[in-house]
């Protein structure tokens, strides 16, 4: 049993990483392929336009967040370029928080907050605990 328990931190990191990746991957996939970036932009611009936010800014934010969620979500599932993906997704969450805050100052954080907690957890734990990933396989000497 001791053999299994020695891997608890590594397993926890892997589960958190894959789970967070799946959340972002499916959200990005839905925005890019099912809804479409134009419709996502139009939906947000309906409210943001009333507040004087230019369409090109809304379009950039919709493009950035949707593509980042799709690509970085997939990379997290694979464990490839994990830390770069986490940084980009952190920026994504900040953009989302600004957008939701502009739209409704008392917005429901139930979808954003768990992602933020998982992301911060993955950034805080030591890099050498991220064993079960392509990053560790490919770049092991640089992670220790």
pLDDT tens digit string along 68-107?
999 999 999 999 999 999 999 999 999 999 998 888 878 8
pLDDT lower than 50: segments of the chain: none
Domain interval for residue 22: 8-143
pLDDT of residue 143: 54
Domain contains 3:
no
Give burial (CB, 10 Å; 0-12/13-18/19+) of 2: exposed
Domain contains 2:
no
Count how many residues are written for the chain. 144
Domain contains 64:
yes
pLDDT of residue 102: 87
Domain contains 113:
yes
Domain contains 1:
no
Number of domains in the chain: 1
Domain contains 127:
yes
What predicted TM-score, i.e. pTM, was given to this entire model?
Answer: 0.90
Given phi > 0 = left and psi -120 to 50 = alpha, else beta, which region is 79? left
């Amino acid at each position: 049993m001791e053999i299994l328990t020695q891997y608890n931190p590594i397993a926890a990191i892997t589960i958190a990483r894959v789970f967070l990746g799946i959340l972002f991957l499916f959200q990005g996939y839905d925005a890019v392929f099912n809804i479409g970036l134009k419709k996502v932009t139009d939906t947000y611009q309906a409210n943001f336009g009333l507040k004087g936010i230019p369409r090109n800014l809304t379009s950039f934010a919709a493009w950035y967040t949707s593509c980042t969620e799709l690509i970085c979500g997939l990379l997290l599932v694979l464990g490839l370029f994990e830390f770069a993906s986490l940084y980009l997704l952190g920026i994504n969450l900040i953009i989302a928080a600004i957008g939701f805050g502009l739209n409704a100052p008392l917005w429901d954080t139930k979808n954003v907050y768990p992602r933020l907690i998982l992301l911060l957890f993955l950034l805080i734990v030591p890099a050498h605990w991220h064993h079960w990933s392509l990053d560790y396989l490919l770049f092991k000497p640089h992670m220790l």
